[in-house]
Chains A and B, each alone.
Chain A
Amino acid sequence: MKTSNALWKASLQGRLPQPLAAEIDKFESEILLKQQGKMEDKVFAETRLRRGSYGQRYDNGQRHDGKESRQISFPSVHTKGPGTLWDAPGMQRIKIPYGGLNAAQLETLAELSEEYSDGIAHVTTRQDIQLHFVHIEDTPALMRRLAAVGITTREACGNTVRNVTGCPIAGVCRTEAFDVTPYAHAMTYFLLGHPDTQNFGRKFKVSFSGCAEEACALAHIHDIGAVAVVREGKRGFAFYVGGGLGTVPQQAKLMSDFVPEEELLPLAQAIGRVFARLGEKKNRNTARLKFVIQKIGLDEFKRVVAEERRTLTPDPRWTDYLKDVAAYREEPGKPAGLLQISGPADGEFDRWRQTNVYRQKQSGYATVTVTLPLGDITADQLRALAVIARRYTKETLRSTVEQNLVLRWVSERDLPALYAELKAAELALPGAGTIVDVVACPGTDTCKLGISASRGLAAELRSRLMAKGYELEEAIRGLHIKISGCFNSCGQHHVADLGFYGVSRNKNGYTVPHFQLVLGGKWEENAGAYGLAIGAVPSKRIPETVDRITSRYLAERQAAESFHAYAKRIGKAALKAMIDDLAFVPPHDSDAGYYVDWSDAREYTIGDIGIGECAGEVVTPIEFQLTACEREAFEAQLALEDGQVAQAAHLAYESMRNAALALLGWRLTPHDGTPDGIVAAFKTAFYDTEYFFDPFTGGKFAQYYFAAHEQRHQTYDAEQAHRLIEETQLFIEASHACYGRLSAQKVAA
């Protein structure tokens, strides 16, 4: 903890916007109260989350060092949340509404990353910035320094309206209906701290897109996704609701094909009130808006929202901002100009220009993407970029959901000089938005829920693909790879061409890091389709998986067929057959590398599992059975692909039941063999005992099985069957994990 924190309070006195200053003072008092034992853990945890101060891996003080699980002896005995030690470093999330940044903000972020973190600022898939390894007592000073440059961390985490995202090229985009920036801005500050958004059971995400075709703001994965539309000369939005990724992804549904601009904020407020009233509060696993819509149906939801809208007391803020919207425009820093190239061709510049320069709708100007490997940028680079932004633009920067930064309004004439300066700052990496620009969530590096090393894998794939560079065919270069460390999908794996999420498998008596391969997702059309997992591959064989699938695509695609269309045409069975042999894990003594995750050196185990009781057996019967369940879940996908919806739902349910049976058989738990009897025995043996629970999701995945059992005679539509398959896959994953945990305990005992 810094000894200078009080100095910042004094030196920034009077320089912060009053409401932010008051908010930070309040948080500082809460920190003191917590240290004095006058605040409950749960209450303090929610309080700090609402300020963006998040827990990080190992904050319970327990860490497996590769040999044994050891206690980290932090000096303080205090806690900052249930099971969260006071001294354990945390992550500070910093909201950057629609990604908008200026030079002074970059410089402040640089200072904060150096002084309170590890020298790196990380751009997230929601256009936020995150700092890691931050001490809780430093956060008020950090927040004051941010507030002094107009940034708040308020409601960056917790059950709040999260960062409002928007197209990073809004206002300069050639295909947009209009610039959504002023609307995103108005929405951000209207909902921030609004009394109607303070009583949510879960987070709430909003995005703004300028058009329906591109991917920029991913409308379909949001609780509210507003897509700009002009109708009869009037501005408005196609309004999508109830989307989300996470464990059970749901595409947002069209609530209205045209919400006039003056109705945007009141409608959002009404939805907020409905969500606060009808949303689940106790069980966070079913607390997102999508579950409200699922439960009452879209039509009823529309009716309830319309009713709520009628009861609202008019608020001048709903429309006050509109008078400035027409006049809103960013100014360029320099006159427009055309690119003039003199002298010999510069291949590096040309390659960079091909992928990192976007010609704006304003002639003579371009938007330049600064590619950040894995979303990371150093303090020195942030400062260099601030200088560049001042020199070439009017500091018109944005962060992107692909974890990059963009500089807008660069005169095309300046591109060579700008490139040279970016290059000097090591910020001129080419490949923005291509296959090398791999997106990854924090995963096991810092996230408490991470199962596999998403960043380690992303770095590995990135470096291998970069090495191939421009030998890669155009069709492959355009693909998107997105990686999440677990099923929660912070890496947005569902909407990638090649998506991966971390899982573990018990093989040869050890736990082995794996990733599920997710295919069928679509990044374009605002996240137009969600993929499904087709099979788990050991982490160390993912690069081979990528090579194999992309080579086959290249060899077999028809004309200009997209990867999405190709995957759909050849079908999941053929895709799965491509990778089946890659699931093999060699025995530990012949290749121990499989048992260590990327970017790590520790053996990947749960506790000190070592060689299990089953040493000598290559695969235990339960592993066979759970693998068969995965196959059945996959067959359910194939049936769905074929339009056999009822069969798909039936197979999905069967595979859940068989996974439950596998666990019951393994523990020699008696049951009568009927569907009811199996559920009852499973409930008694695994749910009531909480053996099936993991520390973060509790019994959520078991509930999927119970619900599927209850509804097994109902008629499913395609969307419901898709969801059931998702739930089935998670139930099977949880069964693998349960088996892993219980075997570890058995060995330890």
Chain B
Amino acid sequence: MDIQHFRVKLFATPGSRPHLGSAIPVFHRWIQESRVPETTIDVSNYDHVPSGPGIILVCHEAIYGLDEGKGRLGLVYNRRTALEGTVEDRLRQALGAAEAAAALLEQEPEFAGQLRFDRNSWEVVVNDRALAPNTDATWTALAPVIQKVFDSRIGAGGYSVERSRDPRDLFTATISAA
């Protein structure tokens, strides 16, 4: 399976209580100051949508978001364009981009003391049902990739992986450090 389009979400820690709208000036500043490597386009506000995408920074290659999907606040990196390299490289890229953006957000003055991300839990999604339907076959193909990437980050046996079983969902695995 030549999987592309990983989406990674890092969850905010339970104590985080940011004002979601504060991400609007932050993301606009990221555009002005070219703070992310992608080709930035614009910022969209979905604060009015309950459990929605929150505030997003739309780029040509990806969408970043301070997201409230499924009622859990987090930082999302959603890869839109294809990447060269192996599937493992692509997953590492999405994880790296999400973590870099999370670190940037935590340092922004608008979120001082209000926003922290949990570095012990990751939601990994493949945003493409044709490449990766939420089936056992996809799981069989992707599990070794996930294992390889997280073994090297956390150490073998240092984490658990849980998978969504709803066939209507995108392929989704949640990795939690022990």
Contacts and interface: CB of A to CB of B under 8 A. Distances in A.
Interface in B21-51: 24-25, 28-29, 31-32, 39-51
Contact of B39 (A73, A378, A383, A600): A73
Given A8-B130, A63-B41, A75-B60, A1 B52 contact: no
Contact of B41 (A4, A7, A89): A89
B81 interface: yes
Most buried by B among A110, A115, A119, A600: A119
Given A4-B128, A378-B69, A462 B48 contact: yes
A383 B170 CA distance: 12
Contacts of A3: 2, 4-5, 82, 128, 131
Contacts of B42: 57-58, 63
A74 interface: yes
A446 B29 CA distance: 19
Given A1-B81, A378-B51, A119 B69 contact: yes
Given A65-B28, A378-B53, A115 B127 contact: yes
A601 B24 contact: yes
B127 A459 contact: no
A111 interface: yes
B24 A373 contact: no
Contacts, number: 119
A213 interface: no
A114 interface: yes
Contacts of B44: 118, 132-133, 445-446
Interface string B92-109: 000000000000000000
Contacts of A600: 24, 28, 43
Chain A, interface size category, equals 35 or more
Contacts of A383: 168
A115 B39 contact: no
Interface string B113-136: 000000000000001111100000
A281 interface: no
Nearest to B23: A601
B56 interface: yes
Nearest to A73: B39
Contacts of A445: 44-45
Interface of B: 2, 4-5, 24-25, 28-29, 31-32, 39-53, 56, 58, 60, 63, 69-70, 80-82, 127-131, 168, 170
Contacts of A87: 60
Nearest to B128: A4
Contact of B28 (A89, A133, A601): A601
A115 B128 contact: yes
28 contacts: A3-B82, A4-B131, A7-B130, A11-B130, A58-B41, A65-B32, A72-B40, A75-B39, A89-B60, A114-B170, A115-B127, A115-B170, A118-B56, A120-B46, A120-B49, A120-B52, A133-B41, A133-B44, A376-B46, A378-B52, A378-B53, A378-B69, A380-B70, A446-B44, A455-B45, A599-B45, A600-B24, A601-B28
Contacts of A42: none
Given A3-B82, A118-B53, A380-B51, 15 more contacts: A2-B5, A2-B128, A7-B130, A8-B130, A58-B41, A65-B32, A88-B41, A89-B58, A111-B129, A133-B41, A133-B63, A135-B80, A378-B51, A426-B50, A601-B24
Contacts of A88: 41
A708 to B, nearest CB: 39
A381 B60 CA distance: 26
Contacts of A107: 168
Interface in A234-250: none
Interface in A420-441: 426
A745 interface: no
Contacts of A132: 44
A67 interface: yes
B24 A119 contact: no
Given A107-B168, A115-B129, A459 B28 contact: no
Nearest to B28: A601
A538 B175 CA distance: 49
Given A3-B4, A58-B41, A75-B39, A374 B70 contact: no
A283 interface: no
Contact of B45 (A66, A72, A381, A456): A456
A65 B81 contact: no
Nearest to B31: A65
Nearest to B40: A72
Given A2-B5, A4-B130, A133-B58, A74 B53 contact: no
Contacts of A58: 41-42
Contacts of B47: 459
Nearest to B2: A3
Contacts of B128: 2-4, 115
Contacts of B28: 65-66, 600-602
Interface in A65-124: 65-67, 72-75, 87-89, 107, 110-111, 114-115, 118-120
Nearest to B4: A3
Contacts of B40: 72
A463 interface: yes
